[in-house]
Amino acid sequence: MSLAADVRRWEDMAVVCARTAERFGRIDAVFANAGVSGDTSFIEGTFNPDDWREMVLTNVLGTAFTARAAMPYLASSGGHLLITGSVAGTVMVPGDLYSATKWAAGALARSIRAEAGQVGVRVTLVQPGLVAAGDRTPGREDDPTLDPDDVARAVLYALTQPRHVDVSEIVVRPLGQDPHR
């Protein structure tokens, strides 16, 4: 089963969750993994407000919409919500809007976890370092990277823990990644 959706649209996320639950009878796990990155600066380079809007709406509002749409189903099944943050959301990256959106994703995960535990839903924030998936921002072309499978194994680790174990956060970065990036 595949469904097209835009995480920035509440209606799309509500429909995806409803149809998924209808098709499979329940939802056990949801991974809010959509994200947009790009080169941003508050001082230098070109500025495209539409690119900035897309980044904030996808990385922050899309994550919130995904979580809200999934939560009734996850509460019903005692399921698991996973949210993609970033190492960039754990350190201060000068002039980087992406970093700010991933700080927000981390705050969302913590806020949702504080509420969701009361209804038996586990919440895991997955914070990968630089992943070899897509273009890299200028100046990072030679930085060490994770393979997408490295992140997938971290996600599977969280999902396969016993029901009473809530892996709150996983930070996974490539060996040798600059600790400030």
Q: What is the CATH number of the domain that holds 45?
A: 3.40.50.720
18 closest CA partner among 62, 92, 76, 81: 76
Q: Is residue 103 within 8 Å of residue 53, measured between CB atoms?
A: no
- Catalytic choice (98, 104, 113, 116): 98
Taking Cα atoms as reference points, which of 154, 141, 138 lies closest to residue 85?
154
2 located within any domain: no
What pLDDT score was predicted for residue 143? 82
36 within some domain:
yes
Distances (CA, A) of 86 to 72, 83, 105, 126: 26, 10, 9, 7
Domain contains 35: yes
Q: Look at residue 24 in the predicted model and tell me its pLDDT.
A: 97
Between vectors from CA 28 to CA 26 and to CA 29, what angle results, nearest 5°? Answer: 130
- Give the count of domains, the chain: 1
Is residue 151 situated within a structural domain?
A: yes
Domain-located, residue 91: yes
pLDDT value at position 135? 72
**Region at 83 (left for phi over 0; alpha for psi -120 to 50; beta for the rest):** beta
Average pLDDT along the chain, 181 residues, taken 10 residues at a time:
94 98 98 90 89 96 98 98 95 89 97 96 96 77 89 97 97 87 74
Residue 96 forms part of a structural domain:
yes
Place of tokens 């959106």: 101
**Is residue 138 in a domain?**
yes
Within a domain: 11: no
Q: Which domain holds residue 93?
A: 26-172
Q: Using CA atoms, how far apart are residues 82 and 141, in angstroms rounded to an integer?
A: 28
Burial (Cβ within 10 Å: 0-12, 13-18, ≥19) of residue 175: exposed
Annotation says 98 is catalytic? yes
